[in-house]
């Protein structure tokens, strides 16, 4: 359960969020999914209005302190005076916020994992998966169901990316796009869940499924 959702964004809530974000970032950096300063993680710390604690921009994700978080609003803009650091939020915070708003996620993870970057390039209309045991881990059947991991084109405008995501998530054209992950072609992947642990499971499973899709090509 997401313990951050309700009530005031207290110093205690932020300290806990910061510690979890630093620990998860170190995990993904060690896996090579956050090369350099790439990638960012967020947890939802308020719903009305929407507030996310997101990792600060430009820092090595293997070396974050629990204080290296910034509070952002529904547009991904930094919010002053509500705790967190005065550092710059990631430019990608806007897409985190859109995903949290549309899906109700309690945590969003964005990394530059290799299979996702490659699969998004090869299958720009979406990665179609079927008859794989690990589909159960992202909320689908192991047999007889076609599941599409949605892909959007890369870009630097998070509003454009957010609109593209929402169109696929809310109005899937074919198959099921109702999966807790989004590939940004030639860039990376976003995955989400009710909390950071579930978001991590969804990320690991989706990346593994994409590795299989590439191996079977």
Q: How many residues bind Zn ion (CB under 5 A)?
A: 1
Residues found in the chain: 217
Taking the complex as a whole, the smallest distance from the CB of residue 75 to Zn ion amounts, in Å, to 18
Q: Is 121 assigned a ligand-binding role in the annotation? A: no
76 binds Zn ion (CB under 5 A): no
Phi, psi of 189 (to 5 degrees): -140, 145
Q: Which residue is nearest to Zn ion (CB)?
A: 188
Q: How many CB atoms lie within 10 A of CB 37?
A: 17
The rounded distance, in Å, linking the Cα atoms of 50 and 35 is 29
Taking the complex as a whole, the smallest distance from the CB of residue 38 to Zn ion amounts, in Å, to 6
Structure token pair of residue 108: 């969003």
Nearer to Zn ion, 131 or 163 (CB): 163
Q: In 3-state terms, what secondary structure has residue 72?
A: strand
Tokens 């951050």 correspond to 4
Contacts with Zn ion in 176-195 (CB under 5 A)?
Answer: 188
Taking the complex as a whole, the smallest distance from the CB of residue 154 to Zn ion amounts, in Å, to 9
Q: Is 112 assigned a ligand-binding role in the annotation? A: yes
Taking the complex as a whole, the smallest distance from the CB of residue 55 to Zn ion amounts, in Å, to 12
Helix residue spans in the chain (DSSP H)? 11-30, 93-103, 114-122, 158-170, 196-216
Binding mask 132-171 for Zn ion (x = CB under 5 A): ----------------------------------------
Q: What 8-state DSSP symbol labels residue 90?
A: P
What is the phi-psi region of residue 15: left when phi exceeds 0, alpha when psi lies from -120 to 50, beta otherwise?
Answer: alpha
Nearer to Zn ion, 97 or 147 (CB): 97
Binding site for Zn ion (CB under 5 A): 188
Binding-site annotation, residues for Zn(2+): 110, 112
């Amino acid at each position: 359960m997401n313990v951050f959702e309700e009530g005031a964004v207290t110093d205690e809530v932020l300290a806990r969020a910061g510690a979890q974000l630093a620990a998860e970032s170190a995990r993904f950096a060690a896996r090579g999914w956050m090369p350099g300063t790439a990638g960012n993680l967020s947890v939802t710390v308020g719903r009305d209005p929407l507030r996310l604690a997101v990792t600060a921009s430009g820092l090595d994700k293997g070396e974050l302190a629990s204080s290296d978080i910034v509070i952002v609003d529904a547009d991904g803009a930094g919010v002053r005076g509500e705790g967190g650091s005065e550092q710059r939020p990631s430019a990608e915070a806007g897409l985190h916020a859109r995903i949290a708003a549309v899906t109700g996620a309690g945590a969003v993870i964005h990394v530059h994992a290799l299979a996702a970057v490659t699969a998004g390039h090869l299958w720009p209309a979406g990665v179609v998966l079927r008859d794989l045991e690990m589909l159960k881990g992202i909320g689908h059947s192991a047999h007889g169901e076609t599941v599409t991991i949605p892909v959007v084109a890369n870009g630097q405008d998070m509003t454009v990316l957010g609109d593209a995501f929402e169109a696929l998530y809310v109005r899937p054209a074919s198959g099921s796009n109702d999966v807790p992950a989004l590939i940004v072609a030639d860039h990376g992947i976003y995955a989400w869940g009710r909390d950071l642990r579930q978001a991590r499971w969804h990320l690991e499973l989706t990346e593994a499924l994409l590795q299989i899709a590439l191996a079977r090509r």
